[in-house]
Amino acid sequence: MTQKNTIAVLGGGSFGTAIANIIAGNGHDTRQWMRNADKAAKCQEARENSFYLPGVPLHENVQVTSDLQAAVQDCEIVFVAIPSSSFREVVRLSAPSLQENCILVSTTKGIEPGGFKFMSNVLHEEVPGARVGVLSGPNFAKEIVANHYTATVVASEQEDVCRTIQQVLHSDTFRVYSSEDVFGVELAGSLKNIYAIVTGMAAAIGVGQNTNSLLITRSLAEMMRFADALGADPMSLIGLAGVGDLILTCSSDLSRNYRVGYMVGQGKPLEQAIADIGQVAEGVNTVKLIKHKADELGVYMPLVSAIHAILFEKCPIPEVIKGLMSGAQTFDVAYSVKN
Ligand SMILES: NC(=O)C1=CN([C@@H]2O[C@H](COP(=O)(O)OP(=O)(O)OC[C@H]3O[C@@H](n4cnc5c(N)ncnc54)[C@H](O)[C@@H]3O)[C@@H](O)[C@H]2O)C=CC1
Ligand SMILES: O=C(CO)COP(=O)(O)O
């Protein structure tokens, strides 16, 4: 390791804890902030985040606190692992205590409710002049802490931000690839959650592998069409943050979004499924926002429309499937690399 840093991770959930453990394992002074004082004290004392990652020891270099100011002051780097619904609120509260020139990295795969802002936009708005990065990839927190070989992507407009984050997170089991396309990487991480709900629901109604492959591939087609319509580079979607995370979350019940879809597919009301998960499933809100945006821009996203109809328009699943299967049979691959 070249340099020892002081780094904060905001968020007491499973991903914040996994990231804090990686950083601490690389020898950095690591502070993990969680809002609940009792929970913070228990984690700090028991050296375990027993609600989100039971049985996983917290590295000795992680100090858990509920004091936001103490957590971020003098930190060169701050990771923000807070659900999109509360992300702005937490960043705003921390802003006055941030060290000038510190690097802010979002790990959140969602879009702010009530608008169409990604977390990098929120970071720039709340901390003008900040050096911003986003982290996204096929990264189940549970598998990271179990030391399964894992890779992710850091995207930033500033090359030195990518290099710093690569150094801080790289370990024997964790690799970090870089990208300049912040928007594309954030879009990929947010969109894939929608399709994890779709494939979870498909699994619940007993589809086969042909169907799963059909769904994942056509999901990618939709993601690329949407990225293109918004001016992002569709090619970013074929990297780890896009295809990688799409395959992961559309194939495993470790994904909370997949599990929401599975439960609704079994007949459970959406609100009950969300409550049963007890953790954030960003895709539910993302479906609404993307459906609205796709309609506004005229982007053809039949799977988004289908899952929206089931989740929010009370349409019966068999009817929606019938509609999907009778839709126009268009091109398979609509993109080619020019030049
Ligand atoms: N868990 C995973 O495997 C991965 C999660 N992510 C992303 O990371 C983000 C965070 O996810 P998780 O840690 O998994 O969520 P989680 O549901 O495990 O935990 C969320 C944490 O945020 C806290 N929180 C919620 N509202 C808050 C507020 N107003 N103020 C302060 N804290 C608040 C909760 O108390 C909880 O500690 C999500 O956007 C998710 O998509 C990204 C990669 C993998
Ligand atoms: O993004 C994730 C893994 O890369 C986690 O997915 P869920 O939020 O669906 O659990």
Pocket of ligand 2, candidates 249, 263, 279: which has the most ligand atoms within 8 Å of its Cβ, to mutate? 249
Q: Is the dihedral of CA 248, 252, 254, 260 positive or negative?
A: positive
Residue 85: pLDDT above 70? yes
- Which parts are annotated binding residues? 14-15, 35, 52, 109, 137, 141, 192, 245, 255-257, 280, 282
Residue 4 annotated among the catalytic residues of the structure: no
- Would you say the pTM of this structure is higher than 0.80? yes
Across the range 240-247, mean pLDDT stands at 98
| Spatial separation of the C-alpha atoms in residues 23 and 277, rounded to whole Å | 27
At 123, is the secondary structure helix, strand, or coil?
Answer: helix
> With a 6 A CB cut-off, is 81 part of the ligand 1 pocket?
yes
Predicted confidence band at 335 (pLDDT cuts at 50, 70, 90)?
A: low
| Spatial separation of the C-alpha atoms in residues 273 and 113, rounded to whole Å | 20
Across the range 78-86, mean pLDDT stands at 97
Q: Quote the pLDDT of residue 339.
A: 34
> With a 6 A CB cut-off, is 86 part of the ligand 1 pocket?
yes
Across the range 192-211, mean pLDDT stands at 98
> With a 6 A CB cut-off, is 265 part of the ligand 2 pocket?
no
Segment (H or E) for 227: helix 209-229
Determine the distance separating the centroid of ligand 1 and the alpha carbon of 257, expressed in angstroms. Answer: 13
Atom of ligand 2 nearest to the CA of 139: 4
| Spatial separation of the C-alpha atoms in residues 127 and 88, rounded to whole Å | 10
Atom of ligand 2 nearest to the CA of 196: 9
Q: Quote the pLDDT of residue 270.
A: 97
Predicted confidence band at 21 (pLDDT cuts at 50, 70, 90)?
A: very high
**293 Rama sector, left if φ>0, alpha if ψ -120 to 50, beta otherwise:** alpha
| Spatial separation of the C-alpha atoms in residues 184 and 326, rounded to whole Å | 31
Only one residue has tokens 């930033």, namely: 156
- Minimum mean pLDDT range among 58-67, 73-82, 231-240: 231-240
Determine the distance separating the centroid of ligand 1 and the alpha carbon of 271, expressed in angstroms. Answer: 18
Candidate list 192, 288, 293, 322, residue with the active-site label: 192
The one-letter amino acid code at 152 reads T
Nearest to 165 by CA among 119, 107, 103, 75: 103
Residue 129: pLDDT above 60? yes
> With a 6 A CB cut-off, is 255 part of the ligand 2 pocket?
yes
| Spatial separation of the C-alpha atoms in residues 94 and 235, rounded to whole Å | 35
Q: Quote the pLDDT of residue 160.
A: 98
Q: What is the ipTM of this complex?
A: 0.98
| Spatial separation of the C-alpha atoms in residues 180 and 113, rounded to whole Å | 25
Predicted confidence band at 1 (pLDDT cuts at 50, 70, 90)?
A: very low
> With a 6 A CB cut-off, is 62 part of the ligand 2 pocket?
no
| Spatial separation of the C-alpha atoms in residues 331 and 192, rounded to whole Å | 21
| Spatial separation of the C-alpha atoms in residues 327 and 310, rounded to whole Å | 17
Q: Is the dihedral of CA 101, 188, 32, 39 positive or negative?
A: positive
